[in-house]
Amino acid sequence: MADKREAEGRDDGLVILRDTVKTYNGRNVLHNISLKVRQGECIALIGKNGSGKSTLLRLLAGLSRPASGTRTVPGGSLRIGYVPERFPPIVFTPWEFLSSTAAVRGLDKHAAEEELNVLLRQLDMEHAMHVKMNQFSKGMLQKINLIQAIAGKPDLLLLDEPLSGLDVKAQENLLHVLLAQKRSGTAIVMSVHESKLIERAADRVLLIQEGRIVKESREERWQPGAVAEVSARIPGPEALAEIAAHPGVADCTPDSDVYLLQVEEGSIDQVLRIILDRGGSVLSVIPAEGIDARMGERLQAAAR
């Protein structure tokens, strides 16, 4: 999709790195990185610890300066949401912190409070919004870390290990939030290890090794024949066998008390009907928005 826009002459790069080199203590940690981040696209950075992913995110955020090469923002200014790998130890309640950061961003007070309430509810943090954060678990802090970045609908979201510390439900909720942000035009660049996030959100995957982008994969979204993920409760082995045998079901894997089905777009209606007719229930249907699942797995394996 991004290439199509470029071909049409609408080159909507939000931030562009050209031949950037980053040096720490005389050692190059990023080598000649060139990258254009476009509106509404999601880029996943994968690679070993210490490969340069976090440094690249900081460079994109403008938090560090390249030793050589350039970082340009064609639009002049950019609203950035940044999730550092670790959330700082701040002696505030989430509400105090988040409303203060909204004020710092210059957001309208009432609109910001409404949005924060929605995000806190989506990430299941409403109950803790007035509790001091020094009593929080790692997962709870990570949720606040994510909300502070997402609030205000930034142009560019930079996420360093966004799923770190989150339980399965929170990961799923976050994925929905991120996909909604992406649909509204926010560009996302994230350093990730989890293939689930890559498969379902990423348009491009960059494999980084020793400060270099060694491989780039991109997939067109919404391709005919793409698969959606259906989460369903299926009663009994007979129903399961019938559904798994359907030609439109590419994969069927148990996930605690539910089954995750990879269903081809053209067969979703039929498969859902079978599940319901056999007394099952459908928990969610997530359209295939990201790159091909097998591609994600291959790249993840290469990063290890």
Nearer to other proteins, 143 or 196 (CB): 143
Among 39, 64, 171, 209, binds other proteins (CB under 8 A): 64
Q: Does 80 bind other proteins (CB under 8 A)?
A: yes
**Counting contacts by CB under 8 A, is residue 84 touching other proteins?**
yes
**Judged by CB under 8 A, does residue 61 bind other proteins?**
yes
Binding mask 102-131 for other proteins (x = CB under 8 A): -xxxx-------------------------
Interaction of residue 79 with other proteins, rule CB under 8 A: yes
Q: For residue 218, state whether it binds other proteins (rule: CB under 8 A).
A: no
- Is there binding between residue 58 and other proteins (CB under 8 A)? yes
Interacting span for other proteins (CB under 8 A) from 78-86, 165-173, 207-215, 279-287: 78-86
Nearer to other proteins (CB atom), residue 188 or residue 299: 188
User: Total number of residues binding other proteins (CB under 8 A)?
Assistant: 27
**For residues 76 and 225, which CB has a smaller minimum distance to other proteins in the complex?**
76
DSSP string, the chain: -HHHHHHTT---EEEEEEEEEEEETTEEEEEEEEEEEETT-EEEEE--TTSSHHHHHHHHHTSS--SEEEEE-TTS---EEEE-SS-----S-HHHHHHHHHHHHT--HHHHHHHHHHHHHHTT-GGGTTS-GGG--HHHHHHHHHHHHHTT--SEEEEESTTTT--HHHHHHHHHHHHHHHHTT-EEEEE---HHHHHHH-SEEEEEETTEEEEEEE--TT-TT-EEEEEEE--SHHHHHHHHHSTTEEEEEEETTEEEEEEEGGGHHHHHHHHHHTT-EEEEEE---SS-HHHHHHHHHHH-
86/246 with CB nearer other proteins: 86
Of the candidate residues 9, 26, 76, 88, the single one contacting other proteins (CB under 8 A): 88
Q: Does residue 282 bind other proteins (CB under 8 A)?
A: no
Q: Which residue lies nearer to other proteins by CB, 58 or 221?
A: 58
> Which residue in this structure is represented by tokens 């990961």?
171
Residues that bind other proteins (CB under 8 A): 58, 61-65, 77, 79-82, 84, 86-92, 96, 100-101, 103-106, 148
